[in-house]
Amino acid sequence: MQNYYYDTYIEDGTTRQGLRETGYRRTVSNPLKRFSDVAQGAVLPVLEQGPITRTQCVKYAGASYDFNPIHHDEEFARKSLAGGIIAHGMMIMGYLGKCATAYLGTAKFARFTSRNVAMTRPGDTLIIEGRVVERTPGSRGGKLHLSMTAKDKASGELRCTGEIWVELE
């Protein structure tokens, strides 16, 4: 029973769930890739993330200390320009990083940038994709430049782009 917890209600609080498996307790260990193992143009395995839940937004708010009501208060968010609750942009950026580390292992990111181009809402499922766009050999290994995107699964709409520079031995 170590990987289960008792959850009385689901997201909307109307249905009893009982025991629910805790996916967040599973540890995934990906060995760190070596620079020589990664080719220029390599495509990272696609990561499907979602559907995004309000609970994830609230947990992220607590972790980041970003309690802007647009991320959790339905009434406030509906009256705002966003027109409803939206996920934190940095949470979506984290999913780009998750995709990269799933492929590379826990590599040291030398630089990581992102740009949110559209809002992600609870209920959306994201498809995270990436590829190696540049490979620069060095004296001990080298640097990789990854280009990342997050798109809505249903519409294909681009939600976030990112660039990651990684140092590998």
- Mean pLDDT across 29-34: 83
Contact 76, 162 (CB under 8 A): no
Q: pLDDT higher for 116 or 50?
A: 116
Q: Which two tokens stand for residue 16?
A: 């009893």
Q: What pLDDT is recorded for position 4?
A: 53
Rounded percentage of the chain residues whose pLDDT exceeds 90: 72
Average pLDDT for residues 100-121, to the nearest whole number? 94
Q: How confident is the model at residue 106 (pLDDT cuts 50, 70, 90)?
A: confident
Q: What distances in angstroms separate CA 60 from CA 30, 57, 79, 88, 90, one per listed residue?
A: 24, 5, 22, 8, 9
Instruction: For the beta carbon of residue 1, count every other beta carbon within 10 angstroms.
Output: 6
CATH of the domain at 154: 3.10.129.10
Mean pLDDT of 75-89: 94
Q: Work out the percent of the chain whose per-residue pLDDT is above 70.
A: 83
**Total structural domains in the chain?**
1
Q: Looking at residue 27, what is its pLDDT?
A: 60
Give the pLDDT confidence score for residue 108 in this predicted structure.
Answer: 84
Tally of helices (H runs) and strands (E runs) in the chain = 3, 7
Residue 23's pLDDT is 59
Mean pLDDT score across all residues of the chain: 87
pLDDT at 50: 86
- Cα 1 to Cα 6: distance, rounded to the nearest angstrom: 10
- CA-CA-CA-CA torsion sign (74, 75, 80, 84): positive
For residue 43, give its domain range. Answer: 4-168
